[in-house]
Amino acid sequence: MLTQSLLYASYRQSKADYSLFVKNISNELHRGARHVDDIIVVGNDKLTIRGLTSFLNHRFKLKNLGKLKYFLGLEVVRSPKGIYLSQRKYTLDILSECGLLAAKPVSFPMEQNSRLDPDTGSPLPDPSQYRQLIGRLLYLTITRPDIAYCVNNLSQFMQLPRQPHMDAANRVLRYLKSAPGTCILFSASSNLRLTAFCDSDWAACPTTRRSITGYVTFLGNSLISWKSKKQSTISRSSAEAEYRSMATATCEFIWLRALLQDLGVPQSSPMQLYCDNQAAIHIVANPVYHERTKHIEIDCHVVRERIQDGSISTSHVASSMQLADILTKPLGGTIFHSLLSKMGVLDLHAPS
């Protein structure tokens, strides 16, 4: 019913995200994002926003909560610098339910070089507690790229969690205790060009020997998306693993460009993709460099097509500046916090 009502009001449903509705009125742009029975309305004309609210209130029983401050566990704070997005209350609720509000904090979420496997340690007597905890932590990664790798790793043991897995999850909670107000900033002064960093950790899984893909995407200097994920097949070399991660980041690029087009932010210049593996960049640039790639699935070659049509350009970045490294492996405290600061992830409630 809500979808039909918005379409009736001349809003257009985005093809990139069916929960987004857009309406252009001369030089004005109005958007509505819905989730089940919750909706956010934004635009640059208050009269039009009031008109839409009145229209929807006539069709449904609405409760207008005013300016956006809290939505589905996400806290929104405005400042002259931009918009801060966090899940502080949600984080504190998790710590309270787990009885770790008074726990001793740690400065990074997972021990460096830690490798969990499915067979070490005794099974948990009640695995449902572990599953519930990991489910809540997965939702927390919406605003916390700093725990994305750890939670992705821990979610692989949901079927039969063991004590080492629970210990690692508790360490993540102790890390959250150190900075529950960690947030991301959508800068008010940022340019609107898409860039991304992609990386992989070759044969990182000790059980399957599959690699881990990680990428972070920026709109200007604002972090807008990220992912840490085990690759679906085994890579024969680090270059192949990096090539697959470039293909995954390229797919995210394609989706984000379509979404930004609907939001009135077209990408006129090529989107920049940074990788720290020279061999992977050569594979992308040279279609006849087939000896290492003839066995790779065709869908991975999407990155080549986008390079050739000019929508994406690739650049080499030093490993020390590879921001996606934080999403592929557990890092020590110094490197971990250095990369976080470069990504623009900060603690809004930290003492100045």
Q: Strand 345-347's sheet: what is its strand order?
A: 70-71, 74-79, 82-86, 182-187, 345-347
The verdict on residue 107 lying in a domain is: yes
Domain span including residue 119? 86-178
Gap between the Cα atoms of 219 and 311, Å rounded:
15
- Residue 112's pLDDT is what? 87
| 274 and 172 in a common domain | no
For the chain, the average pLDDT equals 88
Distances (CA, A) of 42 to 49, 74, 263: 7, 16, 11
Pairing mode of beta strands 312-316, 271-275: parallel
pLDDT digits 0-9 by tens, 105-152: 999 999 988 889 999 999 999 999 999 999 999 999 999 999 999 999
Does residue 352 sit within a domain?
A: no
Total structural domains within the chain: 3
pTM value is 0.89
Q: What pLDDT, on a 0 to 100 scale, did the predictor assign at position 13?
A: 87
Q: How far is CA 186 from the centre of its chain?
A: 14
In a domain, 213, yes or no: yes
Q: Are residues 196 and 305 in the same domain?
A: yes
Residue 10 included in any domain: yes
Contact in structure between 188 and 77 (CB atoms under 8 Å) = no
In this structure, the dihedral spanned by the alpha carbons of residues 290, 293, 295 and 301, taken in order and rounded to 10 degrees, is -110
Contact 228, 212 (CB under 8 A): yes
Query: Is there a single domain that holds both residue 320 and residue 216?
Result: yes
44 and 105 share one domain: no
Q: So what's the pLDDT on residue 145?
A: 95
Confidence of residue 350 (pLDDT cuts 50, 70, 90): low
Q: Is the pLDDT confidence value at 27 over 90?
A: no
Q: Encode pLDDT of 325-335 as tens digits.
A: 999 999 988 99
- Write down the pLDDT at residue 352: 53
Task: Examine the domain organization and report whether 273 and 132 are in the same domain.
Answer: no
Backbone region of residue 315 per phi and psi (left: phi > 0; alpha: psi in -120 to 50; beta: other values): beta
Whether residue 129 is found in the same domain as residue 209: no
What are the distances in angstroms from CA 179 to CA 38, 82, 175, 223? 29, 21, 7, 19
Spatial distance between the Cα atoms of 218 and 192, rounded to a whole number of angstroms: 9
Residues 288 and 329 occupy one common structural domain: yes
pLDDT tens for each residue of 48-67: 888 888 888 888 887 888 88
Confidence band for 200, pLDDT divided at 50, 70 and 90: very high
Q: Binning pLDDT at 50, 70 and 90, where does residue 40 land? A: confident
Classify residue 78: in a domain, yes or no: no
Work out the average pLDDT over 97-107.
92
Scanning 143-184, the segments in alpha helix (DSSP H) are 148-154, 163-178
- Quick one: 158 and 282 in the same domain? no
| Residue 26 to residues 258, 311, 338, Cα–Cα distance (Å) | 21, 28, 45
The last residue of a domain, from among 33, 66, 99:
66
Mean pLDDT of 246-250: 93
Per-residue confidence at 30, pLDDT binned at 50, 70, 90?
Answer: low
Weakest mean pLDDT among 34-48, 98-112, 331-345: 34-48
Same-domain check for residues 135 and 195: no
Choose the final residue of a domain: 178, 202, 224: 178
Q: For 272-310, how does the pLDDT look when each residue is reduced to its tens digit (9 = 90+)?
A: 999 999 988 888 887 665 666 677 777 678 888 888 888
